[in-house]
Structure 1
């Protein structure tokens, strides 16, 4: 899509003119339902043989095993800065870095990431243009889908950003993904909802295609009678790819021979509740490479 046409589409979406987030004739592909997932946004490596869906950072090209079909998802930090890219944002788009009334950057302290400012239509249009170019690059690099992260940055914005601000960007992002272009190929890529179950109804209506859900079992409680994970399945069926993390677990595979079938913990509960219908995996918190001593990967 040309830059002028892209800008027009983005502006229309941000102003509420667009009523749908996807193209009329879907050309992009969806991930395999209940296909075994691997989460590699910390570092890339060759996945185990059973894996069919892999998410990696946008700056890492897919490393699919020869002769094996793998559905590749491109991770994009859509509403916060990656720490290594802060200088790029300062030099090129300083007004998109959110500041408080004292002029200080508003930072997500857990990951040391500056929040991006979505409060005005002009800033949202600029941000969507940047993201659209990244989505095109993901497609050119061989990715099949986009995973935009930190949709809920309003929760960390000290009340400066509203949910409506970010939802306007999310609506436009669906259009950008579904029309991602390489040369004359405008077939697009799919787009995932990342976490934030409370906005699943809106994003499903905008044309989001599947879900990557971190710790939905944890946030729903340890009972198999849960809410957040069920909310995702209500809107996306078995196109839900769930990650639980070892630092929330009292035990994990290797420590307990009966885990998860007879074990305790969020991953075990998730496997018993949904493991037959969606992909549920256990990963170390920093999603390290398989050569790292902290690496953990289990699937059920």
Structure 2
């Protein structure tokens, strides 16, 4: 069973309770169906490494929660909701970080990110209380949506956490986003897409390397054209022009360098499908 509070209505009440507990202002909760979704098929840019003026062809821009949205574009606010962000371990108390033998459990691919402990309702409430002001900040800055990263952190927990645990937290975070008028984006976690949409209420998906790992269908089967895909230069399965022509490729697709560098950096790569 998913550790949820009975219904979407009860979850909405829990989300607003978290807002009050965290000192955030309580917005008028809109109908989640009224949130604005990403424009289908619009070229995206993924600017987590730093904000810069988007290419004129770009209609969707994702940036870190510490950056302002891109003016005139559909803007997605990145929030690391299930692990600590690099350089931000100090924002989290030890009790909400997953511990093993007295040490933080670390993401093996990101050694400066520790897993947040979603294993109990109390832990999830503490995490949501910390994330709630970030979501509110995204809305206040003028973002249209928020994406929650590391939904699959349970797979790195050595059995300490489960998909159901992360789904329960995701449901609360999605309700918080909707309460602030933001669409909520699933980030990766292809294997759980159906449940993340149906049970947690995600509206669209932001996915990395779905063509490289042959996972795009898992997302498009659920979200249709509301899938924003990023491929990286160091792991292309074939030339990017061929990927653009692939009928299985998401309509919103961008090629970026792995470190998401700024223009002017020798490693910077940005390319969209010019259909």
Give the aligned length.
252
Aligned with residue 265 of structure 1, among 232, 238, 246: 238
Correspondences of 1:241-260 after superposition (within 5 Å): 241-249=228-236
TM-score, with length taken from structure 1: 0.79
Match of 2:204 in 1: 210
- The answer as to whether partners of 1:31 and 1:53 remain within 8 angstroms in 2 is yes
Cα distance in 1 for residues equivalent to 2:262 and 2:208: 18
Correspondences of 1:125-204 after superposition (within 5 Å): 125-180=125-180, 188-204=181-197
Cα distance in 2 for residues equivalent to 1:15 and 1:230: 28
Cα distance in 1 for residues equivalent to 2:104 and 2:8: 34
**2:5 counterpart of 1:16:** yes
Correspondences of 1:88-103 after superposition (within 5 Å): 88-89=91-92, 93-100=93-100, 102-103=101-102
Cα distance in 2 for residues equivalent to 1:47 and 1:127: 33
Correspondences of 1:39-54 after superposition (within 5 Å): 39-54=46-61
TM-score, with length taken from structure 2: 0.86
Cα distance in 2 for residues equivalent to 1:248 and 1:267: 11
Structure 1 residue runs of 5 or longer lacking an equivalent are 1-12, 181-187, 221-227, 250-263
The structure whose Rg is larger is 1
> For residues 39-60 of structure 1, what are the alpha-carbon distances to aligned partners after superposition, in whole Å with 9 as ceiling and x for unaligned?
0011110010010000000011
Q: What RMSD, in angstroms, separates the aligned Cα atoms of the two structures?
A: 2.0
Match of 1:36 in 2: 43
Structure 2 residue runs of 5 or longer lacking an equivalent are 13-29
**2:108 counterpart of 1:109:** yes
**2:93 counterpart of 1:86:** no
SS across alignment from 2:229:
strand
- The answer as to whether partners of 1:270 and 1:280 remain within 8 angstroms in 2 is no
Structure 1 residues 49 and 198 mapped into 2: Cα distance closer, same or farther (>3 Å)? Answer: same
- The answer as to whether partners of 2:98 and 2:115 remain within 8 angstroms in 1 is yes
- Structure number having the greater strand percentage: 2
SS across alignment from 1:84:
coil
> Post-superposition shift, 1:28?
2.1
